Amino acid sequence: MNYDLLKRHNKDILIIVVVLSSLIPLFFGYNVQNIIIFSFNSIPFLYVISGIVLLFLLGRIIFSKIIDEKSISKMKGHELIESFINKNEKWVKWVIFPLTMVMEELLFRFYAIIVIIDLINLNSILAILISSSIFSIYHIHFWFRYHDFRIFLSYLILSFFLGVLNGYVFIHNGLIPCVLIHYGMAFELYFYLYRKFYAESQKR
């Protein structure tokens, strides 16, 4: 079997195992009230919408100004971008990528924020900032993958602010909206990179 393919299969299995393991406490009732919070308040809603718009614009600025052609060329090997290029890897688009978002939101919002608030006794603002910082640092794996400072810096910045946004969303609306926001924004940004890569390749 191709080594890269084997690595990808192992990564897919790891994601599935982590997600299933992370869901086990929920089946036993652990903080299930934080899965989704059915409440509506116009002020938090406006904050969230504003945050999504600002994060979208930040992503556009970063991926248009910081990420250059060389970096884009490196990122074409990302599983989701590769699935856009090959157009036949639906498993990545509709299973593995969404599961990755679920995994990250479970770990960095659901568990991290709850532990920081309940066990360390910090307030929600500090919990959001700390969990966002951890989430940002977690993306250091992109440095080891691409060895590209522009890519690494982009992920570091965007993941921190996504963490802040989704931390706020988690406190007010629970886990599920966080997953939806994370999936939607990440999917859109990778699709934007794919289109940018495709446009650059058409010029050559």
Q: How many domains does the chain have?
A: 1
Closest to 171 (Cα-Cα) out of 21, 29, 47: 47
Looking at the predicted structure, is the pLDDT value of residue 38 above 90? no
Mean local confidence (pLDDT), 195-202: 70
19 belongs to a structural domain: no
**pTM for this predicted structure:** 0.92
Q: Where residue 88 falls among pLDDT bands split at 50, 70, 90?
A: confident
Task: Kindly report, residue by residue over 101-158, the tens digit of the pLDDT.
Answer: 999 999 999 999 999 999 999 999 999 999 999 999 999 999 999 999 999 999 999 9
17 belongs to a structural domain: no
Which residue range(s) make up the domain with 105?
Answer: 31-202
155 belongs to a structural domain: yes
CA distance 41 to 84: 38
Say if residues 132 and 160 touch (Cβ distance below 8 Å): yes
Rounded to the nearest integer, the mean pLDDT of the chain is 91
Task: Kindly report, residue by residue over 122-133, the tens digit of the pLDDT.
Answer: 999 999 999 999
14 belongs to a structural domain: no
